[in-house]
Amino acid sequence: MNSAQWFERAQQVIPGGVNSPVRAFNGVGGTPVYFKSGKGAKVQTEDGTELIDFCGSWGPLILGHAREEIVDVVAKAAADGLTFGANTAIEAEFAELICKQIPEMDMVRLVSSGTEAVMTAIRLARGVTGRRKIIKFDGCYHGHSDYLLVASGSGLLTGGTSSSAGVSPAATEEVYVAPYNDLEAVQEILKANGDEIAAVIVEPIAGNMGLVEPAPGFLEGLRAATAETGTLLIFDEVINGFRLAPTSFGHTIGIKADITTLGKIIGGGMPIGAIGGSAEIMSHLAPLGPVYQAGTLSGNPVAVAAGMKTLELLRDESPYLKIEILGKRLADGINRIAEEKGMDIHCAQRGGMFTPFFRKETVHNLDDSKACNQKAHAAYFHHMLDHGFYTPPSGFEVAFVSAAHTETDVDMFLEAFSSL
Ligand SMILES: Cc1ncc(COP(=O)(O)O)c(C=O)c1O
């Protein structure tokens, strides 16, 4: 059975054949690839091909696929018991490690996905402030809970709509949406309605409309404006956390968000999410406080073991410079080739994150990202796939270079790109 046959079969029993919409290749056309195994930077497919993977499961695999030390601790944790629904020592050690690496966090609560983390962060912000409304940014994606599916990014953009059916209007009425990088818009909303607004939530470096950098002063401005109205600032670092350094992005730039959400990397490939902040804020969570949050598998020992080993390896090996050098080599290469060939492309890059945008001008927000040529992106995606490279199957996503990639992988990618 090859990918096409598996997809045919899956569509009979799974809506659209996928368990997360962007995997259906709607943004690029064609048949989704079925993965069989992965090691380091490479994956084997059900078609008998080998691909160099620049998607990395959408971000968790900063150390590559099936890193031996992580697989070992997962196997041991699994053998010791898959779940207890009770406390384990490693949860406490893991929370200590996260709080040590991110000094702005006194406490952290573990959940099982980024969606859950953000959902809890919003409820916590409401509980702390006693206010109902939030501000989010057009094109930022924060998981699929009702409040956050307003003007959302990621797979929702690929689907051609930035919201979802089935979301309660009561939920969306509580959400103001501002363009990313538009500090004045936020200042105005806060000026007019600040005393109703519990939180401003932002991806400090946006990754769900392609890679979009915060403009100079944007995040600092959000911090100052929210502080003035007693509104909490939430940094959604599900992608950013531990991505550019073994800490939060907020910590590296010296901006203290009131609440930070984490996911992806901190689970090392296992399902996890986390919410962290000061003891004062975090103590509003049950059982200390009145804001309820719970989970049968929260703090699951297998996921925590994978996450703990991943963070220890990141702390001890610090592969960040290597990843940055590879990321820059890749983006510079794309930009050079595009220039030489007169292609309407520029590649955004930060550390191991990169997005080739199919237009020359820099992308500052969702409107810019939407102005890119999605047909040209689809042609690029399939060209790279045919040449043995897997990149995100949507023009509104970030691709990832991991510590397992090599200069040769990058150079081969560029060679294939040059024949686009
Ligand atoms: C910034 C951000 N927040 C939240 C989420 C939701 O995380 P999950 O898919 O683990 O629910 C994502 C997922 O891509 C994300 O990129």
Per DSSP, the residues of 203-236 read -SSB-SSS-BPPPTTHHHHHHHHHHHHTPEEEEE
The domain segmentation of the chain, as residue ranges, is 3-62+319-418, 68-316
Per residue in 293-327, pLDDT tens? Answer: 999 999 999 999 999 999 999 999 999 999 999 99
pLDDT above 70 for 14: yes
Report the pLDDT value the prediction gives residue 167, as an integer from 0 to 100: 84
End-to-end CA distance of the chain: 30
pLDDT above 50 for 160: no
Residues with CB under 6 A from ligand 1: 58, 113-115, 118, 141-143, 154, 203, 207-208, 236, 238-239, 263, 273
Class of domain 68-316: alpha beta
Ligand 1 centroid to residue 275 C-alpha, Å: 13
Top-confidence residue, 106 or 158: 106
Per residue in 347-399, pLDDT tens? Answer: 999 999 999 999 999 999 999 999 999 999 999 999 999 999 999 999 999 99
The overall pTM is greater than 0.85 = yes
Calpha distance 203→214 (Å, rounded): 9
CA 86 to chain centre: 29
Ligand 1 centroid to residue 338 C-alpha, Å: 31
The answer to whether 141 is a known catalytic residue is: yes
What's the burial of 48, exposed, middle or buried (CB within 10 Å: 0-12/13-18/19+)? exposed
Closest C-alpha residue for ligand 1 atom 3: 142
Whether 3-62+319-418 shares its CATH topology with 68-316 is answered no
Sorting pLDDT into bands at 50, 70 and 90, what band is 155? low
The answer to whether 236 is a known catalytic residue is: yes
Per residue in 178-219, pLDDT tens? Answer: 999 999 999 999 999 999 999 999 999 999 999 999 999 999
Class of domain 3-62+319-418: alpha beta
Calpha distance 328→405 (Å, rounded): 13
Average confidence (pLDDT) over 41-54: 98
pLDDT above 90 for 408: yes
Nearest ligand 1 atom, CA 143: 6
Per residue in 237-253, pLDDT tens? Answer: 999 999 999 999 999 99
